[in-house]
Amino acid sequence: MENNFELLISSLLDNKIGFSNQFLSDSLANDLKSNLLSLCDNQKFKSAGVGNTENLIQNKNVRSDEIYWLDRKHENQSQNDFLDLMDEFVQYMNMTCYTGITDYEFHYSMFEKGAFYSKHLDQFQQNSNRKYSMISYLNADWQTEDGGELLIHQTEGNTKIEPKQGNTVFFKSDELVHEVLVTNTRRMSVTGWLKG
């Protein structure tokens, strides 16, 4: 597992974008997807907003996905397995990189056909506790024509990442402006932030 952690960290240091196609095992990714789809079928998802608690607004012209927050209180095995993995990753980050991560938050994200998220930065203006952004995708049979890529804007050129199952992306929340391009089919992920 440490090799997968190191791959994310080393690629972050090299390119400002950490990337791994094996951070989640296939079995965990499939379990998470099953949980996500069950929650969706039971109408547990809510429209995502822009801004933090005090300034949260919903604007479908900026962001049109739906989310469900992961929590150990749900007593769901797949969610807990994912959070256990994040505990290990945070411990590894703090031990090897002295990052001082003290907390994290993650949610399922569901983009239905036609959904998108306009260009944005993940760190709030009034609150700088989000240190790293992290996205793990749950779309096993994703094709290029399905769209929905994560487009990361950098001065030396843009990077497009397909939301294929197994792909995990990791970057500093206050550095990289990014967007989710319009998806042509249902697009699923686990998305969140490591906080300090």
Q: Two tokens at 72?
A: 């150990």
13 alpha-carbon distance from chain centroid: 19
Rounded to whole angstroms, how far apart are CA atoms 133 and 111?
18
- Could you tell me which residue, 75 or 55, shows the higher pLDDT? 75
Find the range with the poorest average confidence among 14-28, 47-61, 135-149. Answer: 47-61
**pLDDT above 80 (res 55):** no
List, in order, residues 6 or more apart from 95 with CB less than 8 Å away.
none
Kindly list the distances between the CA atom of residue 131 and the CA atoms of 21, 127, 134, 192, in Å, as whole numbers in the listed order.
22, 11, 10, 11
pLDDT average, residue stretch 77-94: 97
Closest CA to 65 of 46, 51, 38: 46
